[in-house]
Amino acid sequence: MTTDRTGRHIKAIVPGSFDPITKGHLDVIERATKVFDEVLVAVGRNSQKKSQMFDAQERVELVEGAVAHLPGVGVGIIDGLLVDYARAQGCEVIVKGLRFASDFDYELQMAHINTHVSGIETIFLPAGGPYATISSTMMREIAAYGGDVSEFVTPNVAQAIARKVAQAT
C-alpha cells in the first residue's frame, strides 16, 4: 500500500459518470486498490453527456454492487467540483483510467487544472485486459438495440440494463 513520507495512508478517488459501470471501470478500480489504502469511487454528473440510462442514485447502487467484493472501497456522489468533493472526503489523489490517446489529451488538461486549483495530483492508469476499449456509451447503445452486454458488465449491472431496456419498450 502507498503511504506518504510521514507514514500516513493515502486515500484515492476514482471519479466517473459510470452510466453504467463496466468491467473496464472495475479493472481500474481494482488496480487502484492495489496501490492505495482506500479508494472512493465517485459517481458524478457529466454535463457534456446528453443522455443517461441511470440516474445518480441508481448508478451509485450499481457501483456499490460491482465493487462489493473489494475491501477499502467506498462509493459516493459528486455534487459540485471534483476537487472540492475529493478534499471534503480526505482524498489526496485522483485516479483516472485511460483507453485512448484522446482520453489522455482531455484528462491531462483536467489534471493540470485540478492540481492548480487544489494541489491534488492525478494518476493515470492505462486500461488493461479484454475490456480496455469498452465504454458506457457502447453498453447503452448495444443494449438499446437488444444486444447482450453481459460479457462487459457485472451481473447486477446486466440485470439493471435489461430492466431499463424493457421499461423503454
Which one is catalytic: 99, 118, 135, 164?
99
Q: Can you tell me the distance from the alpha carbon of 126 to that of 101, in angstroms, rounded to the nearest whole number?
A: 10
The C-alpha angle with vertex 14 and arms to 55 and 9, in degrees rounded to 5, equals 135
Q: Can you tell me the distance from the alpha carbon of 111 to that of 90, in angstroms, rounded to the nearest whole number?
A: 18
Which one is catalytic: 23, 25, 31, 96?
25
Task: Report the relative pairing of strands 11-16 and 38-43 from DSSP bridges.
Answer: parallel
Query: Catalytic residue at 102?
Result: no
Query: Catalytic residue at 51?
Result: no
Residues 6+ apart with CB under 8 A from 131: 22, 23, 24, 27, 152
Which one is catalytic: 11, 23, 31, 136?
136
Query: Catalytic residue at 116?
Result: no
Query: Catalytic residue at 140?
Result: no
The catalytic site residues sit at 25, 49, 99, 136
